Structure 1
Amino acid sequence: MTPVREAIRRLISDGALVFQDNRRVSVPTLSPDALEQIVFLRKSIECELARRATERVTPALVSELSEIDALLDEAISQGDVPDYLAQNYRFHDVLYARANAPVLAEIASRLWLRFGPSLRVVCGRFGTENLPDRHKDILTALARGDAGAVSVAVAQDIEQGMEQIAAVLRGTT
């Protein structure tokens, strides 16, 4: 199997792509029910990853995440959707890697694959003006070593971003 076919096969198995009857591959349409399930799973898994990461927090981690957040803020102010999406993913990925919970991190990554295209559509449609960014709350709580507050801020970050996707799916924006 060629590397491209193998990559497509994996993305299909992860739910990031769907195979059409006409032998074409496309991004799946996210239903409101599927989105609700993804929100539940993301909050459960990512809040636990954040809690575990807080137990292993270092000043270097807070500094690295602050630098990423500054790049994210710059992307928002410049209306740079691709960079916003990249820096947002990077922020969460770096935080969750510190949790030292590879099974949970892999599941979180697969969930991001499922909702990422929908978030891209929302951002592409509405720009970066009202994008979710609870990262400063996360950073403040991390610096204090407050796992509960980190978990709450991550949950709020997830809810805010996923609500924007849900509003588009409902057609209310």
Structure 2
Amino acid sequence: MPTSAQLPTHEVTYRNARDLILFGELAPGEAVTINGIVERLAAGVTPAREAIRRLTAEGALHASDNRRLVVPPLTIQQLQELTYARTGIEPQIARLAAVGVEPADIDALERIDEQLNAALAAGDIRGYLRHNHAFHWTLYAHSEAEILMATAAAHWLRVGPSLRVVVEQNSISPLPDMHAVTLAALRDQDYEAVGEAIHNDILQGHSNIAQGLDDAD
């Protein structure tokens, strides 16, 4: 995989803009402009415009009633659709990935999960979202299921910003650690249990998002 230094400028800008959404720096409902991306990322106008075009096409941005581009807040119906889609695809990616992981790979996932737990304990929303994404996608990379992963990536762009509520909800009622269950299943080479753990992890996160959406009404 090419490093940032090897990627074209427009691709680097796109990925950095995408990460602003994935990792909670652009919250649901927040407006996004070309000038804003230029300033936040020290990017050129043309790469910023292209990044916004791509993110809009992927559903990560949409036009509000006043025609401003915003990070779209989730509705309950959209969350239900994403739950159906993610629990149908990601557990299968995880099962495929589990076949290819080595003990050193599991150790690396465990280190990521430790960083995630530290961010969660500190109420570090950005750190939590970044390490949660890293845990899943470091695991999924072992599946080599490019088509499934591309579909899953689009789902993450829609749900990622709303996962920030998990940090707030966890401070009230600590959640079962499904990543720890995933790691134990990987070490046991129980591929079905890996898929089940990821399935339950998605349901857990979406349940908290739903609670946050209800509280906002």
Alignment check: 8 A CA contact 2:115 2:131 kept: yes
TM-score by length of 2: 0.74
1:99 aligned partner: 143
Q: 2:194 aligns with which of 142, 145, 150?
A: 150
> Is 1:86 the equivalent of 2:134?
no
Listed one character per residue, the Cα deviations across residues 50-103 of structure 1 (whole Å, up to 9, x for unaligned) are 000111121111011011011111112222111011000000010001101011
Aligned-pair distance for 1:148? 0.7
Distance 2:94 2:189 in 1: 11
Aligned residues: 171
Distance 1:8 1:72 in 2: 29
Q: 1:140 aligns with which of 169, 184, 207?
A: 184
Distance 2:169 2:74 in 1: 20
2:72 aligned partner: 28
Aligned-pair distance for 1:23? 4.1
Listed one character per residue, the Cα deviations across residues 21-63 of structure 1 (whole Å, up to 9, x for unaligned) are 5442101121111100101111111001000011112111101
2:204 aligned partner: 160
Task: List runs of 5+ in structure 1 lacking aligned partners.
Answer: none
TM-score by length of 1: 0.91
Percent identity, please. Answer: 43
Listed one character per residue, the Cα deviations across residues 96-137 of structure 1 (whole Å, up to 9, x for unaligned) are 0110101111111110100111122x246x265246631000
Q: 2:114 aligns with which of 43, 46, 70?
A: 70
Instruction: Give the number of the structure with larger relative contact order, counting CA–CA contacts within 8 Å between residues 6 or more apart.
Output: 1
Alignment check: 8 A CA contact 1:76 1:84 kept: yes
Local SS of the residue matching 1:171: helix
Alignment check: 8 A CA contact 1:79 1:128 kept: no
Alignment check: 8 A CA contact 1:12 1:18 kept: yes
Local SS of the residue matching 1:98: helix
Alignment check: 8 A CA contact 2:61 2:69 kept: yes
Distance verdict in 2 for CA 1:10–1:54, change over 3 Å: same
Q: CA RMSD in A?
A: 1.9
1:18 aligned partner: 62
Aligned-pair distance for 1:172? 8.0
Distance verdict in 2 for CA 1:114–1:66, change over 3 Å: same
